[in-house]
Chains A and B, each alone.
Chain A
Amino acid sequence: MARGPKSQGSDSIDEMELVRRAAEDPAAFGELYARHVRQIYNYIYYRTGNHQDAEDLTARVFMRALRHVPTFEDKGVPFTAWLYRIAHNLVANWHRDRSRRPVVPLEKSVLSGGASEHPELEAIAHEEQDLLLAAIRRLPPERQELLILKFVERMSNAEIGKVMGRTEGAIKSLYHRTLNALRDEVRAIEREAKR
Chain B
Amino acid sequence: MRWTPRQIEALLADVLVPVEPSETFLRRLQARLVTYRGKQALNPWMFIIVGATGVLMFFSFLGLLLRILVGWIGLLGILGLRREAKSNHEPTKA
Contact = CB atoms under 8 A, between A and B. Distances in A.
A132 B37 contact: no
Contacts of A174: none
A66 interface: yes
Contact of A129 (B14, B29, B36, B37): B14
Given A37-B26, A128-B1, A132-B12, A42 B37 contact: no
A132 B15 contact: yes
Interface size class of B (residues with CB under 8 A): 20 to 34
Interface residues of A, number: 42
Contacts of B8: 132, 179, 182-183, 186
B18 interface: yes
Q: Chain A interface mostly helix, strand, loop or mixed?
A: helix
Q: Chain B interface mostly helix, strand, loop or mixed?
A: helix
Q: Which of B8, B21, B25 has the most CB of A within 10 A?
A: B21
A59 B31 CA distance: 11
Contacts of A66: 33, 36-37
Interface in A141-195: 147-148, 151-153, 176, 179-180, 182-183, 186-187
B19 A30 contact: no
Interface in A43-62: 45-46, 51, 54-55, 58-59, 62
Interface of B: 1, 3-5, 8-9, 11-22, 25-26, 29-30, 32-34, 36-37
